[in-house]
Structure 1
């Protein structure tokens, strides 16, 4: 395993702080915080490096405002690539942990916690991540860590399934959002508030990253364009100079930190502009707030107001003030209620809430709250938007005034017509919108454009979902305003809905012009937009939808099976030649000679046969024969098959990456991010691959035969999903530059619904093939905190148990006893145990020098020897029945 090197200063600081907690003299060291492990700001992400885009902001808060910022990372990124070695699985996870700790340390972040969940592969499906990680256990861990670290502000990732958004990122943000609410509720995870003696904790404010774009220069904090006007959005300028970093801009410091993630190919990131006025902002959007703040504040600390810094109006820290509404969706001309909630740790006499609404709206209600104390006080208002109010999202603002100060808050509502009609959502969008409503953040829903794919020149049914939000029956028509080149079975269709009822109408839509460009070359950014118009007695609703054309092909059966030899013989591949030269990610090709490709696909009774011819002017890294994995790092071809053409995510598909030649001169193949990942010979038995690499080099040919029996299920001969991608790298640093393919959109490798569709006329599936895919085989071997000296040292320093788990009970724990002895290149120490469990001992000096696993069957003290003679002895103990303990000791001699 690669040794994990840390700068000597950081290594010494971590060791010193840990040893101080272990009761061993450590010499001069920085004074610990008043409450070790407690945080002001907690970032929640899925992988090491997810926090990297906000390090400028977190570093500023730490340097200029003294904020203690920590990170919670769900996985250690075992499923990512490795541009610096051959480690994968847990060893890669520990390597990436080391990178993350060094990177965030540049922003003054000292604590990084992990949930020890597996990073299984890139997917755009949050439900798949939820299934793999275990929702209840993962949420319990996040809630426990929030209760242990007591952050005033939580920042997380974008939780919505926006195009290309990693499903792990989505799920990490969902967990952070759910934990924000659950951690404050004593009824959630009662074992934590009972047996573990943790107190409920109400974090003041919750944000997700992104949500705006803006200019460069310091004006980016106030002149940006937000994606939603209803939620407060903030910009933090990255051009601010850092005194503790020699006057560099925080954008420069962030870039230096990002280069620490070398395993992910970030070491070569270009410099940011030296002129601060050419630097932009980090943007954040508020998901929820419990505390008062100043609307429209553009200062760098605006997101901390009310939670970490007192409200500008003078309300003391510990004051809560927020609004709730009877419903998120409201109707013009129909009244609804808004409730103001207030509470304070110190008495605030003369409390009064006021509500600010758009011009023409009416508000009734006194807003009197009296003296605000530790018990929540509420005031209810009746709000009525006038008839004819335009549909859309509106911000309602609240003001709290007391004898000791004032503050503001806001909440959004969405004005909706009496009857709404919307194109059916993708399953992941429907799932997210349902989650947002159930979790109490409905404003997060409805932000994803409704899109559906349609095979070029073909037809499909499109459902329009209807909802009557009025108190009376409604009827009317639904029409689909389709763009040129598309038609429907009827211009409009009638409906009738009872009061408060839901329903639908369905159109059969046809692409009448098969010459229209497909994939991301069609329409606007790949979307052929249309409108859904729904009429009713209460008004008209118009909503946008989008159709995405995917390419199609008919694949004739080969008269005889092609010879898998890396070259095409006449007549081997009947049928069309597929254009694989469309760019879907990365830098555009300079010319066809730089990167372009064609493909041919045919089939026989037992296999698919694929031939891909690639033009390429410069060969990327030739990997070692033992490094046949992570095909996106260099020149390679990826072939994806969705047997039934209906997979929601790639866990029910077949995906293989094929390298044209390794260091031994032979091609190789593997499976990745699909129903069963791993070496090709093990996961796709019977699959054969051959290649020809041109000399002098100007490209290569890959030919393969994929047995139908290797697919997750039987093929639907009328509708099989297929895609072919080509990864092009012109460097020797294991980093790709360009991705081209047949059916192309950003993130399309994780989007089976956007793959091309093919038919295999006359195909009969082999006997015994299942009609539905077998359950996916997902990697489960994650790096564990008990195996990480750095995590153990942090746990000993902070008192926060490993992996956001509980502490080992006193009756079942084990720790280092006395001073270890160093002799003959090894460390000998006494391990004192009060009960059974497993201990993991590591010797670490910025490198992992030795490790040993010790089974503890009963209470007592035993002598243990571990290889290594310098640095720190770090011991983690996992108690039988649950809970961990961490101890460390500095080594001498």
Structure 2
């Protein structure tokens, strides 16, 4: 339900402290977006803006981190200072869509990763509790989030934020989840009505208003056209959204081009529903309000708002010819009069029963199916549905990558999200690997059968068929095969793409067919040099006896205009416990020459990145070595750094680098002690990649990324790096050191903008608990005194006050004070005050509280 927007500054006038009480919560939202970083919501702002303007819906954004681990194209800020900058960008951006409330959770943004497990490890176990608390505080009917699946290249922080949102959708409604929020903090369980992911797999984007007509045989997919005109701003919402995106200047977005002026060329924002507790439009309904219907908008002829309608199939996995029970749940605030329920099932399926419980018997076709029900009453009509997956008793699939295995286990919270990631495994060009086929019996009887492979041209296996036997009900076994790339001339990396093949697994009631894929990665032998190369940026005769590696494949960004624009080769050798790498890059325009003191975030300009995975088995880059070289700096010489690996910061001890820059090209040479790699090396399977970041501008943004083993997001995906054999190297011993990962995030107590919002809404900070009334502190008065502001406060217990003097120009002074009882704090001013000056304060003891007073 919508509440009136109430703008409340706490304690605007000096009054007796004992009569003061914090502002009651004023944060009743209609829509809540949950993302990982500032800018994650940036491609949904067209939709949020339309909903705000056309339906007066109040939206908010949860941002788990402030993006401290990202780059900065506008200044030297990093860490918490960058977080403060990016929070300001986000608040300005979402404000263009009428979004006023941004809830930062203060988790750390450590570095780019595609690993949700690593993200979960770094964020810690209390993040879900914080998201649930915000949901219970703000009570949104509609929740939006990102893609939770480990689709190749999908940011691990995005995956984890989406999983937290999905878990919170269910947990916020459960009084057994985080019960202290209810018993101690006075919150109530709250069940959001509908939950969506941004995007829609398999939907071809279209332009023009007809893009809202989306049809999917199984999923509930919706679209909102961005070409609709804003009545208040007189422009398309796509154009308004683009202006908002340009606000993220620190991320290099300020130069985003204009959107087309022709509405027919503007597309839709796409969303996929995960779940709903209310009536939804029937499949195929095209309407800009379709995502809102049943939750905050009553559809034409629909059931009254507040009606709950859902469908339960009991099980996601069902079998052909075996009946299962479907139950329709209908609850309303008032009488609906006569009620009838009409089940909707695929052609060829059987239905029996009446009322709200049915028995459904699937047909013989395997795959996903939609089970729906239409409810007709005297007060309107409603629809609900649910997915099931039809398959035989025995099902086989290619072994999953670790992060996919972890995702499939997590997806038990929402089974319809299972199986949406195509299983892939990498294979070195011309090499072999063992591939396990996981066979699972979901039936009730012991099974025996066969597993058969049908491989594409250029691949062979030690056997194409193998038997399994005595597989008990509910049990799983693995049938191994050794697969070889028999044609090394096949293209590797993203140039070759996925080499799909078929796994057929037989059982007593039919065969399951899976279509996984193999991905070829380049391979190379690293020979031992006769003598150690001189690290001077020049290849002298005989220094590098190995093959030249082609590092010209594009993996992200704009295509190279020509080999002169961006292309390269690399050579690698080793000697006396040291790896030597020589990289030659053709580049006709050099990017920004960063200062040596700014030798970080190498993707902002021209750079070369060299990566090693010592054992070739890392799930994420925290157990790898990644180093980058800027071939030239503002001072002249190159600089070297480590990023997103086992140990952040400058180059490794003993690492050396040199470069030669000339017209149209540069050469980078570096030596890396093998001992600097995290743990012992497997010389037969050393993961390796060489990547080039090409910038043709002076605004600290990159345009093209090329490399050796290339896939989108490959810098964070060790399993997709190439495979190197370290000829003649004897493996050492040792253990993998614990990773060094940035762990400093900006606290909302040190963010004046977060404090102002918390004071306005009467909520605690960062999704945490509020300070108990008996342990709270707040400001009660403020006045200018010379070059400072005298701030009077009340404190019920010892605690910490974070004070900021604010005016129309921003922050004019700040101070952190530890206090134990009522008193006064002097806050020095850094400049003269302008209009609308106030003091905003954050209190921290057993919880937090924000307050604000006008400066007199």
The CA deviation at 1:349 is 4.3
The CA deviation at 1:675 is 1.1
Mapped partners of 1:409, 1:311: distance in 2: 14
Checking the alignment, whether the CA contact within 8 Å between 1:841 and 1:866 is kept in structure 2 is no
Change in CA separation of 1:329 and 1:513 when aligned onto 2, cut-off 3 Å: same
Q: Deviations over 1:649-708 (max 9, x none)?
A: 11110111110111100111111111111122xxx11111111111xx211111111112
Checking the alignment, whether the CA contact within 8 Å between 2:349 and 2:362 is kept in structure 1 is yes
Checking the alignment, whether the CA contact within 8 Å between 1:312 and 1:407 is kept in structure 2 is no
Checking the alignment, whether the CA contact within 8 Å between 2:696 and 2:703 is kept in structure 1 is yes
Mapped partners of 1:55, 1:318: distance in 2: 27
1:587 equivalent in alignment to 2:558:
yes
Checking the alignment, whether the CA contact within 8 Å between 2:11 and 2:780 is kept in structure 1 is no
Q: Secondary structure at the match of 2:744?
A: coil
Number of matched pairs:
836
The CA deviation at 1:592 is 1.1
Residue 712 (structure 1) aligns with:
678
Q: Secondary structure at the match of 1:848?
A: strand
Residue 693 (structure 1) aligns with:
661
Q: Which of 287, 294, 303 is the aligned partner of 1:299?
A: 287
Question: Residues 612-651 of structure 1 correspond to what in structure 2 (within 5 A)?
Answer: 612-651=583-622
1:48 equivalent in alignment to 2:38:
yes
The CA deviation at 1:342 is 2.1
Q: Secondary structure at the match of 1:515?
A: coil
Mapped partners of 1:269, 1:58: distance in 2: 20
Mapped partners of 1:59, 1:213: distance in 2: 24
Mapped partners of 1:482, 1:230: distance in 2: 29
Q: Which of 763, 766, 782 is the aligned partner of 1:803?
A: 766
Mapped partners of 2:302, 2:539: distance in 1: 78
The CA deviation at 1:736 is 0.5
Mapped partners of 1:499, 1:879: distance in 2: 55
Residue 842 (structure 2) aligns with:
877
Compare 34-43 and 826-835 and name the one that shifted more: 34-43
Checking the alignment, whether the CA contact within 8 Å between 2:9 and 2:851 is kept in structure 1 is no
Checking the alignment, whether the CA contact within 8 Å between 1:605 and 1:764 is kept in structure 2 is no
Question: Residues 461-540 of structure 1 correspond to what in structure 2 (within 5 A)?
Answer: 461-496=434-469, 497-522=471-496, 526-540=497-511
Residue 20 (structure 2) aligns with:
none
Mapped partners of 1:184, 1:191: distance in 2: 14
Residue 18 (structure 2) aligns with:
none
Q: Deviations over 1:194-241 (max 9, x none)?
A: 00010000100000000033321000000x465xx3221001000000
The CA deviation at 1:473 is 2.8
1:329 equivalent in alignment to 2:317:
yes
1:365 equivalent in alignment to 2:353:
yes
Q: Secondary structure at the match of 2:404?
A: helix
Residue 225 (structure 2) aligns with:
237
Q: Secondary structure at the match of 2:813?
A: strand
1:849 equivalent in alignment to 2:839:
no
1:99 equivalent in alignment to 2:72:
no
Residue 743 (structure 2) aligns with:
780
**What 5-or-longer segments of structure 2 have no aligned partner?**
15-22
Compare 539-548 and 38-47 and name the one that shifted more: 539-548
The CA deviation at 1:872 is 3.8
Question: Residues 51-90 of structure 1 correspond to what in structure 2 (within 5 A)?
Answer: 51-90=41-80
Change in CA separation of 1:628 and 1:354 when aligned onto 2, cut-off 3 Å: same
1:147 equivalent in alignment to 2:136:
yes
Checking the alignment, whether the CA contact within 8 Å between 1:311 and 1:407 is kept in structure 2 is no
Q: Deviations over 1:759-808 (max 9, x none)?
A: 11222356xx524x222111110011111111110111111211011111
Mapped partners of 2:569, 2:811: distance in 1: 48
Q: Deviations over 1:392-435 (max 9, x none)?
A: 11111112233333211111111112321111111111111111
The CA deviation at 1:297 is 2.5
Checking the alignment, whether the CA contact within 8 Å between 1:836 and 1:859 is kept in structure 2 is yes
Q: Deviations over 1:226-280 (max 9, x none)?
A: 5xx32210010000000111x1000000001100000000000000000111101
Checking the alignment, whether the CA contact within 8 Å between 1:19 and 1:890 is kept in structure 2 is no
Mapped partners of 2:578, 2:170: distance in 1: 52
Checking the alignment, whether the CA contact within 8 Å between 1:874 and 1:886 is kept in structure 2 is no
Q: TM-score, normalised by structure 2?
A: 0.95
Checking the alignment, whether the CA contact within 8 Å between 1:813 and 1:877 is kept in structure 2 is no
Q: Secondary structure at the match of 1:740?
A: strand
Mapped partners of 1:491, 1:363: distance in 2: 41
Q: TM-score, normalised by structure 1?
A: 0.91
1:760 equivalent in alignment to 2:748:
no
Checking the alignment, whether the CA contact within 8 Å between 2:69 and 2:110 is kept in structure 1 is yes
The CA deviation at 1:359 is 2.0
The CA deviation at 1:335 is 0.7
The CA deviation at 1:519 is 1.0
1:266 equivalent in alignment to 2:253:
yes
Residue 317 (structure 1) aligns with:
305
Q: Which of 693, 699, 717 is the aligned partner of 1:751?
A: 717
Change in CA separation of 1:19 and 1:290 when aligned onto 2, cut-off 3 Å: closer
Q: Which of 731, 737, 743 is the aligned partner of 2:703?
A: 737
Question: Residues 139-218 of structure 1 correspond to what in structure 2 (within 5 A)?
Answer: 139-211=128-200, 212-218=203-209
Compare 552-561 and 787-796 and name the one that shifted more: 552-561
Checking the alignment, whether the CA contact within 8 Å between 2:579 and 2:674 is kept in structure 1 is yes
Mapped partners of 2:304, 2:437: distance in 1: 50
Q: Secondary structure at the match of 2:382?
A: strand
Q: Secondary structure at the match of 1:213?
A: coil
Compare 276-285 and 341-350 and name the one that shifted more: 341-350
Residue 36 (structure 1) aligns with:
26
Mapped partners of 2:760, 2:124: distance in 1: 29
Q: Which of 607, 610, 623 is the aligned partner of 2:581?
A: 610
Q: Deviations over 1:117-146 (max 9, x none)?
A: 0011111111111111113x1000000000
Checking the alignment, whether the CA contact within 8 Å between 2:755 and 2:842 is kept in structure 1 is no
Residue 19 (structure 2) aligns with:
none
Q: Which of 350, 355, 364 is the aligned partner of 2:343?
A: 355
What is the root-mean-square deviation of aligned Cα atoms in Å? Answer: 1.7
1:791 equivalent in alignment to 2:761:
no
Change in CA separation of 1:19 and 1:491 when aligned onto 2, cut-off 3 Å: closer
Residue 850 (structure 2) aligns with:
886
Q: Which ranges of 4 or more aligned residues in structure 1 deviate by more than 4 Å?
A: 16-19
Residue 277 (structure 1) aligns with:
264
Mapped partners of 1:474, 1:254: distance in 2: 56
Q: Deviations over 1:280-314 (max 9, x none)?
A: 10000000000012213221111111111124434
Checking the alignment, whether the CA contact within 8 Å between 1:636 and 1:726 is kept in structure 2 is yes
The CA deviation at 1:352 is 4.1
Q: Deviations over 1:415-464 (max 9, x none)?
A: 11232111111111111111111x1x111110111110001111111111
Mapped partners of 1:176, 1:83: distance in 2: 30
1:381 equivalent in alignment to 2:358:
yes
Residue 671 (structure 1) aligns with:
642
Checking the alignment, whether the CA contact within 8 Å between 1:235 and 1:281 is kept in structure 2 is yes
Checking the alignment, whether the CA contact within 8 Å between 1:396 and 1:412 is kept in structure 2 is yes
The CA deviation at 1:474 is 2.5
Residue 827 (structure 2) aligns with:
865
Q: Secondary structure at the match of 1:116?
A: strand
Residue 446 (structure 1) aligns with:
419
Checking the alignment, whether the CA contact within 8 Å between 2:687 and 2:722 is kept in structure 1 is yes
**What 5-or-longer segments of structure 1 have no aligned partner?**
1-15, 26-32, 368-378
Mapped partners of 1:854, 1:273: distance in 2: 52
Q: Secondary structure at the match of 2:597?
A: coil
Mapped partners of 1:225, 1:451: distance in 2: 28
Checking the alignment, whether the CA contact within 8 Å between 1:293 and 1:312 is kept in structure 2 is no
Checking the alignment, whether the CA contact within 8 Å between 2:12 and 2:852 is kept in structure 1 is no
Checking the alignment, whether the CA contact within 8 Å between 2:787 and 2:828 is kept in structure 1 is no
Mapped partners of 1:621, 1:85: distance in 2: 13
Compare 611-620 and 828-837 and name the one that shifted more: 828-837
The CA deviation at 1:391 is 1.0
Mapped partners of 1:95, 1:342: distance in 2: 48
